[in-house]
């Protein structure tokens, strides 16, 4: 993960107590229909770029450290590079994408727009015949090759660990390790954000990722273990403060799974809103597996542990950017099955 201006980010987070991350929906449309996802449709209108820029300006006024552009599939927006450039003028910018639309031209446009990081959602080595999982290495190998050659932004892969992906998980990690890519893992949840898996099989995979794999974040390690053991640890979610989710209607929400509870227009969101929601328990913390909210909350909940985790990430290269540096991956891209071992 690249941090473009670490001193600015630290000042905002520690001195101004500003939001660490804001996720901004740029379109609800998606070119896929993965069975576990509740974040897309095929009918919503595209949000005009002028409207998105107004919402970004509101996030800039709140001194948000990182703005993540999301969907649906954000690359479906025809002005996405222009939106990235506007966000990058005063914040760090990331995109979460399934990668299917990443042409050479679009990668160069994102380079020029000063994109900092890209999270690629890929779940398995091979497509699931049922269509429940559609994002596989085999289908995205050409995209990885284009990114290796052209991207000047950091890249890492996010995997959703669920019943349909667990059998390929170990081989998937081995394959990604040969790319030099870091990985983040989400635990599949229900429509309220509560973890929907548990048991020794998943716990073993989780342990392997953090002990021998290339996890990009170490902050959620212990918490994820507790969830997979069936435990429901007590913690305070700082959503609405350290973490913001701005839906397609321009309303600030606590998170994607708790839409409708906060529902305040981001254009009118204030520092007082941040102070108030930082101080309140949300009541949905038990069993929550939305790690984006958990990680952001730990700055206030357990700052010493957060600092230790960040130091370990820095030492292991997690915070220096993810690059395709080895020429040997070119051959592997032509034969994912053989590389999986």
CATH topology of domain 6-339: TIM Barrel (3.20.20)
pLDDT confidence of residue 334:
45
CB 284 within 8 A of CB 258: yes
* Average model confidence (pLDDT) across the chain: 87
Which residue ranges in the chain fall short of pLDDT 70? 31, 33-40, 42-43, 128-134, 312-341
Q: Which two tokens stand for residue 191?
A: 């429509």
Peptide bond into 230 cis (omega under 30): no
For residue 134, give every residue at least 6 positions away whose Cβ sits within 8 Å of its Cβ, in sequence order, or none: 32, 33, 34, 127, 128
Is 124 strand, coil or helix?
A: strand
pLDDT confidence of residue 325:
34
pLDDT confidence of residue 94:
98
pLDDT confidence of residue 34:
60
pLDDT confidence of residue 308:
78
User: Read out DSSP for 39-65?
Assistant: S-BSSPPPPPHHHHHHHHHHHHHTT-S
Question: What are the phi and psi torsion angles at 321 (to 5°)?
Answer: 105, 155
pLDDT confidence of residue 53:
98
**Tens-place pLDDT, residues 8-52:** 998 999 999 999 999 999 998 886 766 565 566 766 788 999 999
Q: Where are the domains of the chain?
A: 6-339
CB 288 within 8 A of CB 194: yes
Pairing outcome for strands 154-161 and 183-187 = parallel
C-alpha angle with apex 176: 30 to 331, nearest 5 degrees? Answer: 100
Question: What are the phi and psi torsion angles at 274 (to 5°)?
Answer: -60, -45
Is 37 strand, coil or helix?
A: coil
**Tens-place pLDDT, residues 132-151:** 566 777 788 888 889 989 99
Is 283 strand, coil or helix?
A: coil
For residue 234, give every residue at least 6 positions away whose Cβ sits within 8 Å of its Cβ, in sequence order, or none: 285, 286
Q: What share of the chain is helix, strand, coil (3-state, %, to 5)?
A: 40, 15, 45
Question: 252 forms bridges with which residues in the sheet?
Answer: 246, 264
CB 42 within 8 A of CB 72: no
pLDDT confidence of residue 101:
93
**Tens-place pLDDT, residues 271-294:** 999 999 999 999 999 999 999 999
Contacts 24+ apart (CB under 8 A), 231-237: 232/286, 232/287, 234/285, 234/286, 235/285, 235/294, 235/297, 235/301, 236/281, 236/285, 236/297, 236/300, 236/301, 237/281, 237/282, 237/284, 237/285, 237/288, 237/293, 237/294, 237/297
Sign of CA dihedral 216, 17, 68, 85: negative
Q: Nearest-CA neighbor of 49 among 81, 71, 91? A: 81
Q: Which two tokens stand for residue 214?
A: 């290339």
């Amino acid at each position: 993960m690249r941090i473009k201006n670490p001193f600015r980010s630290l000042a905002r987070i520690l001195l101004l107590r500003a939001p660490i991350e804001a996720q901004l929906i740029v379109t609800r449309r998606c070119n896929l229909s993965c069975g576990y996802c509740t974040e897309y449709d095929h009918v919503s209108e595209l949000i005009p770029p002028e409207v998105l820029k107004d919402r970004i300006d509101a996030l800039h006024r709140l001194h948000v450290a990182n703005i993540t552009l999301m969907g649906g599939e954000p690359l479906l927006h025809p002005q996405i590079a222009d939106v990235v450039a506007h966000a990058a003028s005063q914040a760090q910018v990331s995109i979460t994408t399934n990668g299917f639309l990443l042409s050479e031209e679009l990668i160069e446009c994102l380079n020029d727009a000063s994109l900092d990081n890209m999270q690629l959602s890929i779940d398995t080595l091979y497509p699931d015949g049922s269509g429940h999982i559609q994002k596989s290495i085999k289908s995205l190998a050409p995209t990885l090759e284009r990114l290796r050659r052209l991207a000047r932004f950091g890249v890492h892969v996010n995997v959703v660990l669920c019943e349909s992906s667990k059998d390929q998980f170990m081989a998937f990690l081995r394959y990604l390790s040969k790319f030099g890519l870091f990985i983040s893992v989400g635990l599949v949840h229900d429509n309220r954000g509560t973890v929907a898996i548990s048991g020794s099989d998943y716990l073993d995979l989780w342990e392997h990722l953090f002990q021998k794999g290339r996890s990009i974040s170490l902050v959620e390690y212990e918490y994820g273990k507790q969830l997979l053991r069936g435990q429901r640890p007590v913690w305070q979610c700082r959503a609405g403060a350290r973490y913001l989710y701005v839906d397609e209607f321009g309303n600030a929400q606590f998170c994607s799974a708790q839409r409708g509870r906060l529902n305040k227009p981001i254009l009118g969101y204030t520092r007082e809103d941040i102070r108030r929601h930082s101080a309140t328990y949300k009541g949905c913390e038990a069993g929550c597996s939305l790690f984006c909210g958990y990680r952001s909350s730990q700055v206030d909940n357990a700052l010493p542990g957060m600092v230790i985790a960040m130091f370990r990430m820095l030492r292991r290269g997690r915070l220096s950017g993810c690059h395709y540096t080895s020429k040997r991956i070119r051959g592997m891209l032509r034969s994912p099955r053989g590389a999986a071992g």
